[in-house]
Amino acid sequence: MRTLKLIVVWFARGAIAITVLLYAVLIRPWHMRWGASSEEVQMRLEGDRMIARGAIVSTRALDIDAPPDEVWRWMLQLGQGRGGFYSYEWLENLFAADMRNAELLEPRLLKLDVGDSISFQADGPATVVTLVEPERALVLGDGWTLALRRIDEGRTRLIVRYPFDTHGRSLDALYYYTVFEPAHFVMESGMMLGIRERAERSFAQSRRASGLAAGVRP
């Protein structure tokens, strides 16, 4: 029994050590540019001029089978108390976020101006909208950019760039590398998948509706 316990303990420790090592060597470099091409990683985006020098930057990208205007509407709803972040709300709510992801577009939320506040948590931290270029880019805070690039008539590339400035402080860097960055990858990739799912669904519905209106069988 004691030997079995020792085996289980050492197996768990070994598994965690290997996971952390693999994360540092292989997974982190991959998720920092999740889905993005080398050109997209190098590409200048609308919020780049707001990014502090020396900030750690991730660039992630995804194709969406919907035109930019459709994706844009879902992006306008971002925020706690608005349409949510379309990510894993059950995980966000473990941290008192009180997040509810919208499944529909709400007309009252389809407007966002520079200076508007976007919350991450109920009565918690928020960021400010720093740039709005309709159907092209939404920039939050110090350069968190959600950019849209038209691929063709019915498809869009969503590119998300997130900077984190540790201000050269070791404690901030420790927090960033060990907690924030891994958690942020999970939540941001979840958000991008959530935006894609909703935009594709609403675009397909509107296409079906317009086809029906024109007397075309869906």
Partner 1 sequence: MRADRHYRRHLQRAIAHEGALIGARMTRLYAGAFIVYATVRVAIAIIEAPAEGIDVIPTVVASGASMVVASVTITTLLALFSTLVGAVSAIAVHWLLVRSAARGVRARPVVVGALVSLTSLAVGQIGLLPALGFSPLSLPLGTYLFWIGFPSVIYIVVTTWLGRPLWRHAHDAYPAGLSAQ
Asked if residues 191 and 199 have their Cβ atoms less than 8 Å apart, the reply is no
Structure tokens at 99: 């997040």
Does the protein bind partner 1 through residue 151 (CB under 8 A)? Answer: no
Shortest distance, position 15 Cβ to partner 1, whole Å: 9
The type of residue at 121 is Q
Q: What is the DSSP letter of 208?
A: H
The type of residue at 53 is R
The CA-CA-CA angle for residues 199, 203, 209, to 5°, reads 150
**Minimum CB distance to partner 1 smaller for 39 or for 113:** 39
The binder of partner 1 chosen from 68, 196, 202, 203 (CB under 8 A): 196
Does the protein bind partner 1 through residue 23 (CB under 8 A)? Answer: yes
HSE-CB for 55 with a 13 A CA cutoff: 17
Total site size for partner 1, rule CB under 8 A: 34
Does the protein bind partner 1 through residue 22 (CB under 8 A)? Answer: yes
List residues binding partner 1 (CB under 8 A): 12, 16, 19-20, 22-23, 27, 30-31, 34-35, 62-63, 65, 88, 90-91, 93-96, 98, 178-179, 182-183, 185-186, 189-190, 193, 196-197, 200
